[in-house]
Structure 1
């Protein structure tokens, strides 16, 4: 059986829940989740593939998610650099000098930040479901939501179906646990896209665990606020990244369409771009976590 050890680490005044899985002597892989998602967003199947390949795998709860500290964003706002500092604190807490960084969505932007500003901590970078950390998606969203045509020189907005879902979700009752679970489950269904089958039982287990695992569900919305703040450090050229970089992106991603991943790969020298046929903006499709785990295992050598 794969060993699993939990550890609370400190990042300034914050306490972050972490879990270390696999061979303690193997190279470390740090899994960085996306917006509003705790570490259990990385499926056990993916973690186990990496651990079986001799890696020591670390996943953790961002601030404002899971069992990690929640903050008052109004009085203590934070930005992408602060989330990246949490990631390095996790490495420090586990005594890891450098790791293979694997980030999904917002986690991919955190990985880019580390590869640019803390290159000594990054052995390789795997960025999934994300785009260049210096790109502001706000204008494209605004145009789409006001019914304007996309700007041909900008990266594309989310799909019309996803934007309609957001408007619909805002009107849903979400006062009880069952209502929150049902609304979140529908969001993940839309994010999955229509090509690969949606693993509803796995998604439901995740959504229910998030509800029971998290101290404050509303706090996770702070990630959106942090992600939108375009600070100067995010504008640093990605051409400075020296770590071997793999960009994986679903061909059916409704939140960040495929050109976002392609744009990131074009900015990082010598990176590899690997479209994943049929994948949306989730890991909730049967067999997908194992498939991605095998690709990451090959990259993290």
Structure 2
């Protein structure tokens, strides 16, 4: 599937390379243009891409062409190969952080540094935490912290409501989801959210194909077992917002398990990447990815 993954790059070819890995069911353009531009202006060669079954990348009939999250992880390596990169700095968001952690464990020679933002520790089943929360079931002792009540209420409502139909309803639903993920501390720019979600909608080959990522997880849950994070050798920066609604407190667990990892808390940040934090995030990532390590 190497030639069917859409990607683009910014900055000079000779600069330190950063590969941006977005979360599950998310297009690469959710890495904001302004943020990407800050990284490129800071002397980085920045690559972002659309996961399979998102955006401009190829979509498939899952029954005819099933795949797993291990395949989605391998797509990262294929993107790197296409851009001529033997190794790169991996900067990952949400479930993209799981992919980055997997690569750091399995292919350490390809990871110069690792940055995970709003992610969960590899080997944990954060999806089960969410499902128990949605069903109102107690979490077993030792489970990851569950999402905020606002987050859970939003997704309970989605489960009970008919799916949105047509472009307008779909975009309104996408904006509502972005509002919840944004968190409650920073102002929410609805006009900017609308422009982004219109762009996401209009550039998708098949917007419904993103649900194949869920099928991939259920078909063969092949994330690494618990206990592998101490194997990560890459210098690691873990970033979490103080108002993270989806995975609150998960960043501290990642940082605790990866030797030498540094945890950075960003005031007001939720689970999106709004302009308010672009400068702070870019500065931290530029420092973390400065050669040599």
**TM-score class, shorter:** over 0.9
Q: Summarize the alignment of residues 1-301 of structure 1 with structure 2, pairs less than 5 Å apart.
A: 10-11=1-2, 15-170=4-159, 171=161, 174-227=164-217, 229-231=220-222, 233-235=224-226, 237-257=228-248, 259-283=249-273, 285-301=274-290
- Map Cα deviations across residues 215-260 of structure 1 (whole Å, 9 max, x no partner): 1111111223334553264546111111000000112111111x21
Give the SS at the match of 2:254. helix
Q: 1:197 Cα deviation (Å)?
A: 1.4
Q: Any stretches of 5+ residues in structure 2 without a counterpart?
A: none
Q: Any stretches of 5+ residues in structure 1 without a counterpart?
A: 1-9
Contact 2:69/2:223 (<8 A) preserved? no
- Map Cα deviations across residues 39-78 of structure 1 (whole Å, 9 max, x no partner): 1110011111111111100000110001101122223332
Q: 1:286 to 1:51 in 2, by over 3 A?
A: closer
Contact 1:134/1:230 (<8 A) preserved? no
CA RMSD of aligned residues (A): 1.7
Contact 1:23/1:55 (<8 A) preserved? yes
> TM (normalized to structure 1)?
0.90
Give the SS at the match of 2:59. coil
After superposing the two structures, state which structure 1 stretch, 16-25 or 235-244, moved more: 235-244
C-alpha distance in structure 2 between counterparts of 1:291 and 1:200, whole Å = 22
C-alpha distance in structure 2 between counterparts of 1:287 and 1:236, whole Å = 35
After superposing the two structures, state which structure 1 stretch, 126-135 or 160-169, moved more: 160-169
Q: 1:169 to 1:148 in 2, by over 3 A?
A: closer
Q: 1:172 Cα deviation (Å)?
A: 5.1
Aligned length: 288
C-alpha distance in structure 1 between counterparts of 2:165 and 2:142, whole Å = 41
Q: 1:83 Cα deviation (Å)?
A: 1.1
Contact 1:64/1:71 (<8 A) preserved? yes
C-alpha distance in structure 2 between counterparts of 1:191 and 1:232, whole Å = 24
- Map Cα deviations across residues 253-287 of structure 1 (whole Å, 9 max, x no partner): 11111x2111111111000011112111111x332
